[in-house]
């Protein structure tokens, strides 16, 4: 079992899946924003930023995967990103259900030298206050789906990270 996990951790398929999933999620977000007229809130933009970061780490991992140290760093960073994605998704769900009172304004909170909301407003501009997320299918909201998906991604990422570190030399 550990050998299969090591093979997956060292291979390209996992990172290509992260990139593909990221493209699909960002594409879906843009469809909801521009086609279905569901403007994104601050937490939604945080989710988009984290997905973009995961995609960038996946690209770096594909380029640097021959280096064990770089690959281990990419796995560890990806696990951190997925954990933060889960936290943001949980906060979004709690805000939607009214169980968490979150300060959710229109300021993305990035430093001036990283003004992604000004450079790429079509993707990263906050346009609504937090409160609800649109329904996807069967009464499941976007926040509920994100919590489940991000929990799965944390589990997979952490498992592959641990497997990589436990690999026999």
Each residue's pLDDT tens digit, 2-23? 677 666 677 788 999 999 999 9
Rounded Cα–Cα distance for residues 125 and 34 (Å): 13
The residues spanned by each domain of the chain are 2-164
Residue 151 has pLDDT above 80, yes or no: yes
Q: Return the DSSP state at 162.
A: H
Of the candidates 35, 13, 58, 46, which has an alpha carbon nearest to the alpha carbon of residue 117? 46
Each residue's pLDDT tens digit, 152-162? 999 999 988 88
Residue 74 has pLDDT above 80, yes or no: yes
pTM over 0.85: yes
Mean pLDDT of 52-67: 93
CATH code linked to domain 2-164: 1.20.1550.10
Residue 38 has pLDDT above 90, yes or no: no
Rounded Cα–Cα distance for residues 82 and 17 (Å): 14
């Amino acid at each position: 079992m550990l050998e299969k996990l090591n093979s997956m951790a060292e291979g390209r398929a996992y990172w290509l899946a992260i990139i593909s999933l990221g493209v699909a999620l960002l594409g879906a977000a843009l469809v909801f924003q521009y086609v279905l007229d569901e403007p994104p809130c601050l937490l939604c933009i945080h989710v988009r930023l984290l997905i973009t970061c995961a995609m960038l780490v996946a690209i770096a991992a594909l380029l640097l995967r021959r280096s064990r140290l770089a690959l281990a760093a990419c796995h560890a960073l990806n696990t951190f990103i997925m954990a933060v994605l889960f936290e943001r998704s949980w906060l979004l769900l709690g805000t939607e259900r009214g169980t968490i009172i979150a300060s959710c304004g229109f300021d993305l909170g990035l430093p001036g030298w990283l003004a992604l909301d000004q450079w790429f407003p079509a993707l990263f501009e906050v346009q609504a206050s937090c409160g609800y997320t649109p329904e996807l299918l069967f009464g499941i909201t976007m926040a509920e789906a994100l919590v489940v998906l991000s929990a799965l991604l944390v589990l997979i990422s952490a498992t592959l990270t641990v497997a990589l570190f436990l690999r026999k030399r």
